[in-house]
Structure 1
Amino acid sequence: MNRAPTFDESWHRVENRRVRLRPGVEIFPQRFRGQRWYVVRDALGNRFFRIRPPAYRFICEMERSATVGEAWDRTLDNAAEEAPGQGEIVQLLSQLHQSGLLRSDIEGDVATVFAAQQKEHRRQVTGQWANLLFIRIPLINPDRFLQRTLPLVSWLISRAGFVIWLALLAFGAKAIVENWAEFRAETGGLLGADNLPWLYAAIIVIKGLHEFGHGYFCRKYGGEVPQMGIMLLLFNPLPFVDASSSWAFREKGKRALVAAAGMIVEVFLASVAAIVWANSGEGLVHSVAYNVVITASVGTLIFNLNPLLRFDGYHILSDLLEVPNLQGRATRTALYMVEKYFFRLPNSTNPADTKTETFWLVFYFVAAFIYRILLLVGILLLVSHWFFVIGMLLAIGFAFMWLVMPVVKAVKYLWSSPRLEARRGRAVGLTLALFITIFGVIAFVPMPNHFRAAGVVRADPFAHVFAGTAGKVSEIIVASGTMVEAGQPLLRLTNFELDREIELASLSLQVAQMQQREALEFDPVRHLSLEGYLTATRARLAKFTAEKEALVVVAPAAGRWIAPEMISVVGATLQRGTELGVVQGEGSHYLAAEVRQADVARLFGGNVKGTGVKIRGQEQHTLAVSDLQAIPADRDPASQDPRKRGRGGIQGMDPRRGSPSSEPFFEVRAFLVPQSECYLVHGQQAVARLDLPWEPLLTQWVRSLRQLFQRNYRV
């Protein structure tokens, strides 16, 4: 760990002050990674702070000394090597004072202490409302209820309870695995209008039991649970309890168990619900059990177990790694890196103990920041898709919190932070230079620009083969897998009813011709009337004759005849239009990919500088393309009829949704240049990367944002 500098420019502000801890503040020892720490507890406000032994010894000396300076001198006399520096003492006193835990000679009365407490309370309330997605509203004190009912559930928080939990988990997992196909199929109706009330009810009940799990585990190990209320998570009311007293537990295992208690309860509920679901038929019980399984398992894995959010997984990771206040320490470590290596502050202290810990704390800070941004953007897109006005209001609020407020805090830090007194000019200058440089690079420096389009490899030619008329499969002329020429017979059907129809039509034609010749001599008027009947009879005969010719199915194009299932339908009767197989070429393949109308203009007009295609499963090869073209796609669902497709192009539907496309799109076709190492098969999935002229990142981002609004909100 880096040794903190002894002296600090702000020391004169506190050196001659008389400071004491406020009555009601308690201190408990703890051990982290073999080192002793101390937990400072504010019993009145139920808040906890962790400090190191040097800070604890200084607080003890402060209680016996007349001034802060005298307390520091005593600390130096007792343990000069471990004594905190002046900067650390200034920071410690500032944090304790802002939290209303100190009384000093400049305060002197209860009113001032009360004002500090009110200020801290307002700060907490402001912080709650500033975080619009996670607003907490305390309602009751459940501690007495938990104490009275603890004997009823205490036996579950034991080794016997753990064995029961494991057994239920095993049986629940077994039930899901054995019925996986059915379980997966039911996800389609999860967000249906009929199921949403049950899903929401399951969430409310499960989260309530989740919070009671935290409370009972905390009470089991001697902690207090002073608050219970409602948390507006994404504006949805969910219960919460305050089990922060577990932070004072000496054993990290107990602290981790309290943090994991909610997830333990949810996994228990999910296991029981899975067993009920697997052993119940269609009905209300079956549906409710399914909702419980999904809510108590997926929600736990995505949110509660994720350590990048300050939920249960975060506290578990913090306790298991023995890193108190992981997020705050990561933030201070990132700030230390800026101060040490960017501002070159001589008095900067590293909160981490080793270089490895410094790396991982900075990595955690960056990963958590990026994840929160992505999560909030995803939530905004989801909400605004259904409720545009609410989504826009949330976007404004988040822009203020994540853009305006950080800038305001950064300016305040640069302008007034005591830590920068000796380097303020350098810090401000470097920050401005960095901001201008980053903005200049983003706004003016051309960067690589490319466009990706997912698609499907198609053989050229590729033609579906259909039964032109109904009939019984009597002979397979060409076996599946054989190369054929255009017009070559593939299989033969027979239709005895069609033969009878042809015979009847032929006889009808002969009779009509005889009647017309007879009428020519004796009844000219009737002769003329029979002309129309003869025409209809000839057309009917021609139709039946054409259908008989269609009983011999021929190849529509040259290629390989693929019909692996035909051998199993010999002797079966097929209806007209039944797909029999395909004929696909092997010498030429092209990629058929879909591009929205808003994007297609970027690909043409000489803008494409290079194109490469990667085949899924053969990503080590990049195929070149030729003859790049865009074809407007039809939005008529009828074009999905295979008989109306072109040479393999998808016409008319957005395949990702399986429904008619809500906006025009183009089918981009690019013929692939074959490679001997890359094997091409019709139907393979592929991705094309089309390199475009370089543009500044700001231009690319603005275009993407504009297209997002046009596509999702039609603005």
Structure 2
Amino acid sequence: MTGTAIPIKLPGAPTPPPLPGLRQELRIEPGAPLVNGAPSWTLFDPVRHAFFQLGRVEFIILTHWASGQLGGIGAELSRYGLDDEAANRAFNEVVEFVATNSLSVAPVGRDSVSTFLEQRASSKKAAWKWLLDNYLFIRLPLVKPADFLNRTADRISFLWSWQSVVFFTLLAFAGLLLVARQWDAFLASFLYFFSWQGVIAYGLGLVVVKILHELGHAYTATRYGCRVPTMGVSFLVMMPVLYTDTTSAWRLRSRKQRLAIDCAGVATELMIASVATMLWVVLPDGMLRSVAFILATTSWIMSLAINLNPFMRFDGYYVLSDLLNVPNLQPRAFALGRWRLREALFGLSDPAPEIVPTKLRRGMIIYAYATWIYRLFLFIGIAVLVYNVFFQPLGLILAVVELAVFIGRPVWSELRAWAQLKDRIFSSKRGRAWLWISGGLILAAFLPLDRHISGYAVLSPVGAAPIVSGEPAMIVDVLVENGEEVAPGTALIELQAPELAAQAAETKVRIAQLQLQVDRSVADQRDRSNRAVLERELARERNKLSGLERRSEKLVLRAPNAGVVAGLSPDMHQGRWIGGAEVIGHVVTPSDYDVQAYLVEDDIWRLEDGALGTFVAADAGGPARKAKLVETSSSAIQRLEQPILASTNGGPIAVDRDGDELTPREALYRVRLIAEKGAASAEGDQIQTVPGSIQIKTSGQSFAFWAFKETARSLRQIF
């Protein structure tokens, strides 16, 4: 508080010191009704171009103060139900308000020189605060357009006529309808602008549209008698945003006129969009059509997607504020939101910060919470963008500052408010419950509760042998079933390869011909001279026939070892053709299982020799087995050896494919475990490769230690 509160003169009370007069240039005008329907007044300070909304009590006090008739305040306030104590409190609040905003000709209740020195000193910011404010938000007024607007407003007055509204509405609908008939061509136009030239063109179009947008606000405000002192550019986290100072619109009592000013920018952009859309339809391909496309798309997108957003202080926010007839919607909604939060958490039974209708209060609270959630994601997104755009460590510093100011500072302010209410919070039953919960959560953060590490894994039977034909062939008969135990050499499947039989028949014919030539070489001089060649060719054909016969023998697929048949598909039936490299099934040894798992770099150091774990199949009906750690790789893998886990094959591990190589995108370490022994079932466990996950027991780690470790790792990567 700048001045000292001076009590109102009450019966029997000592005479208060005299108050300085109010500044003569201040104006009090009737304002729009308050939310509850009560009348209001607007106090205008032309020096700072600031407006203050007053209720009836404040209006009475300031009116008597300005006229110098302070003695009659108490009697007049009593007519509106205020007792002496309430009147005194209201008077003190008005005195504080006048002193804080320097509305009097001299400081209130203090030595003038000392008070002005204190105000000057308090207005100065520390260097770091100045840099912080100018980095996060700075407003640069560029022009004073009031005279220009007054001179030219009549020339465009036709835009506010109902004929103009009808014309642009019909033009917009017609343009959108015609564009819909050329939708493919319209979308194809976007491809041109995915280039530096397109980005520059879009940027210029956006600047033009936003200038016209702000002129829409300015001309509409001027039309209703409001002065526009400045227009310029604001920088929000270094992002330029044009602005128009239409603060004087709060002088208007008509909500319809205020809404017209709020919507003027969007209406201007929609007018531009309607004209540009129609021009794109009728113009031939070329520069002018590209310009029309830019103006149309930027106007539609900016108007509908950004300007009408009510969660930031764009046009949509002011439209919502005037629709609800709630000036300063966000701070008032935020105050109600904080009050509702405290009541829900601590049950303090405090009155609401202001009295508004129940339905409106509920809506304002919902709006506050929705705005907080929206801004949380928005500012996190901006922080990530800043972090990646700027060089390090500057990007990190700017991102941290942005998060600290826009997210951390409001949270810290609320926590400080809770600290001031700690006595009341601790005395309430709900507050004590939250105290115990908070203490428990803090304790849990430092307890080593995390005693498992997890990763993606594959379960494979040890000694599993694939059943492969090696030849393209047709199935003649399937002699076994899944789950059937077999001995080494047991016939499993009979195949037939007609092409192989044909080659064998041709080879036998060739051998017979060559043998005949060799036999008659004793009597035939020409064959005798070629005998050595014939014998070599005959030997080659016999070797070829021997190979074909061995390949034919392999068409009866036999068990390579004792085990259980697994993985035979029902599609393996008589008459089906199979490829030579196709795995038909497996003969597995069900008592031993091998688990290959992949763990992230941050967890590998927590493993201990012989650690126990549990493999859980990805399929809910798959196997789950206990396992024991037997091997840990000393370095990160260069390629993924289990394609079934790769993201390119629908698996959970993100990889990049380079030919046949699958390279993980993050550092992964391979570990090997041996699963417990056990009998296999006929259906479930006899699967060659089962993808799933592994959980391995390790020494405990607290959440606090994990957070510290992650922070330290991030800082090491940056610096």
Partner of 1:445: 444
Shift of 1:234: 3.5
Aligned pairs (5 A) from 1:445-594: 445=444, 522=529
Task: Report the counterpart of residue 389 of structure 2 in structure 1.
Answer: 386
TM-score scaled to structure 2, two decimals? 0.62
Structure 1 equivalent of residue 584 of structure 2? none
Give 1:423-438 correspondences, 5 Å limit.
426=423
Name the counterpart of 2:93.
91
The change in CA–CA distance for 1:625 and 1:240 in structure 2 (over 3 A counts) is: farther
Whether the 8 Å CA contact 1:634–1:652 is kept in 2: the answer is no
Change (3 A) 1:274 1:305: same
Partner residue of 2:376 out of 373, 376, 388: 373
- Which string of whole-angstrom CA distances, capped at 9 and with x for unpartnered residues, describes residues 250-270 of structure 1? 111221221122222233334
1:62 maps to which of 62, 65, 69: 65
Distance 1:425 1:689, change over 3 A: closer
Deviation of 1:381 after TM superposition, in Å, equals 0.7
Residue correspondence of structure 1 range 174-573 to structure 2 within 5 A? 174-175=177-178, 177-178=180-181, 192-277=195-280, 289-333=292-336, 350-387=353-390, 388-402=392-406, 426=423, 440-445=439-444, 522=529
Task: Describe the shift of the 1:128–1:46 C-alpha distance in structure 2 as closer, same or farther (beyond 3 A).
Answer: farther
Counterparts of 1:16 and 1:612 in 2: how far apart (Å)? 85
Aligned 8 A contact 2:606 2:699 in 1: no
1:174 is matched by which residue type in structure 2? L
The question of 1:164 aligning with 2:167 is answered yes
Q: 1:193-228: per-residue Cα shift (whole Å, max 9, x none)? A: 453323322332222222112112211222111101
Kept in 2: contact 1:271–1:293 (CA 8 A)? yes
- Look up the match of 2:593: none
With over 3 angstroms needed to count, the CA separation of the structure-2 counterparts of 1:653 and 1:411, relative to structure 1, is closer
Q: Which residue number in structure 2 is paired with residue 79 of structure 1?
A: 80
Hey, what does 2:144 align to over in structure 1?
141
Answer whether contact 2:249 2:258 (CA < 8 A) is retained: yes
What is the CA distance between 1:430 and its match in structure 2? 8.2
CA contact (8 A) 2:5 2:96 kept: no
SS in 2 for 1:23: coil
Secondary structure class of the residue paired with 2:158: helix
Larger Rg: 2
Deviation of 1:325 after TM superposition, in Å, equals 1.2
One-letter code of the match for 1:22? R
**SS in structure 2 of the partner of residue 94 of structure 1:** helix
Give the conservation status (yes or no) of the 8 Å contact 1:28–1:39: yes
Tell me how large the CA RMSD over aligned residues is: 7.2
- Distance of aligned partners of 1:56 and 1:122 in 2 relative to their CA distance in 1, 3 Å threshold: farther
**Does the CA-based 8 Å contact 2:32-2:255 persist in structure 1?**
no
Report how far residue 56 of structure 1 moved.
Answer: 0.8
CA contact (8 A) 2:273 2:295 kept: yes
Moved more, 437-446 or 215-224: 437-446
2:158 touches 2:164 (CA, 8 Å); kept in 1? yes
Change (3 A) 1:193 1:332: same
**Cα gap change, 1:71 to 1:534, in 2 (>3 Å):** farther
> How far off is 1:141 after superposition?
0.1
Provide the C-alpha distance between the structure 1 equivalents of 2:80 and 2:92, rounded to a whole number of angstroms: 19
CA distance in 2, matches of 1:53, 1:290: 53
347 and 362 in structure 1: CA distance in 2 versus 1, 3 angstrom threshold: closer
Give how far 1:143 is off.
1.5
- Cα deviation for residue 138 of structure 1 reads 1.0
Task: Check 1:204–1:648 CA distance in 2 against 1; reply closer, same or farther (3 A cut).
Answer: closer
Cα distance in 2 for residues equivalent to 1:624 and 1:410: 51
User: Do the aligned partners of 1:634 and 1:651 also contact (CA within 8 Å) in 2?
Assistant: no
Q: Where do residues 641-656 of structure 1 align in structure 2 (5 Å cutoff)?
A: 649=651, 653=655
Matching residue within 47, 50, 57 for 2:50: 47
Shift of 1:242: 0.9
Partner of 1:584: none
Q: Structure 1 residues 80 and 634, CA, compared in 2 at 3 Å: closer, same or farther?
A: same
**Deviation digits for residues 431-458 of structure 1 (CA, Å, limit 9, x no counterpart):** 999998676344323699999x9x9xxx
Kept in 1: contact 2:600–2:667 (CA 8 A):
yes
Is 1:29 aligned to residue 31 of structure 2?
Answer: yes
Query: Quick one: which amino acid aligns to residue 202 of structure 1?
Result: G
% identical aligned pairs: 21
Q: CA deviation at 1:401?
A: 2.5
Partner SS, residue 50 of structure 1: strand
Change over 3 Å in CA distance of 1:504–1:147 after alignment to 2: farther
TM-superposed deviation, 1:119: 8.0
Contact 2:5 2:93 in 1 (8 A): no
Partner of 1:100: 102
User: 1:397 Cα shift?
Assistant: 2.2
Opposite residue 221 of structure 1, the aligned amino acid is Y
Residue in structure 2 matched with residue 459 of structure 1 by the alignment: none
- The whole-number CA distance in structure 1 between the counterparts of 2:603 and 2:286 is 47
TM-score normalised over the length of structure 1: 0.62
1:173 Cα deviation after fit: 3.8
Tell me how far 1:362 sits from its aligned partner: 3.8
Q: Relative to 1, partners in 2 of residues 1:410 and 1:164: Cα closer, same or farther, differing over 3 Å?
A: same
